[in-house]
Amino acid sequence: MGRAMTGYSFDLQGAALTALPSGALWWADQSMIVVSDLHLGRSERIARLGGALIPPYEVEDTLGRLDTLVTDHAPRSVICLGDTFDDSAAADLPDGPRLWLARMMAGRRWIWIAGNHDPAPVNVGGEQLAELRLGPLTFRHIAEQGAVGEVSGHYHPKLRLAGQARACFLLDESRLILPAFGTYTGGLDARDKALRPLLSNPALAILTGRTARPVPLTY
């Protein structure tokens, strides 16, 4: 394991991967970016259901950070690991964000994995799958007990250090759980009992931020 591009590089079942400070995963051998839980339209859904109002800029912020990733790495493929939209109604993007997303998708393979908040979107192009197996890895939204070589999302893991919660990847010898990439997504404590059956000791939390920082984690 080591650092690359201010990210944290590691091997998962023979695949050489890099956890990026943004919360995205880079698989150089496949020229692939993987992100999870964008939750586009979260502020709109909360307002639609009569909840507390939050600033309505999370779509632009999330797409802007995704655009930076695509520009910087020029991937041949992008995988979105489910919960791309906060619900099915939120998938009806306004023209501006829809065109922005279409420009990012142009000329590359773009795969939408179905999540629990939304089905894989069918009205924005790309491929819609329940899961994807590629080489030694399986990409799905929710981790399954006993899986090996699994890359998933769903839990929005965060680790609290020195009073501050930071979004993080969770890694053990068998699986990787990605943080939520979307803005205003909240998170689950990395030591929560819901995660204990999925991860073996020793595990690693890889914090996002200015650099990807590994922190040992014991369950």
The domain spans of the chain are 2-217
Look up residue 22 and give its two tokens.
Answer: 């943004």
Instruction: Using pLDDT thresholds of 50, 70 and 90, give the confidence band for residue 161.
Output: confident
CB 18 within 8 A of CB 9: yes
Residue 2 predicted with pLDDT over 50: no
Cis, bond preceding 202 (omega within 30 deg of 0) = yes
Q: Assign domain 2-217 to a CATH class.
A: alpha beta
Around Cβ 28, how many Cβ atoms within 10 Å? 15
CB 139 within 8 A of CB 171: no
What pLDDT was estimated at residue 1? Answer: 47
Each residue's pLDDT tens digit, 109-158: 999 999 886 665 657 789 999 999 999 999 999 999 999 999 999 999 99
CA–CA dist 118, 121 (Å, integer): 8
Each residue's pLDDT tens digit, 8-65: 999 999 999 999 999 999 999 999 999 999 988 655 554 455 555 555 578 889 999 9
Give the C-alpha distances (Å, rounded to integers) separating 134 from 46, 113, 218.
Answer: 36, 13, 29
pTM of the model: 0.90
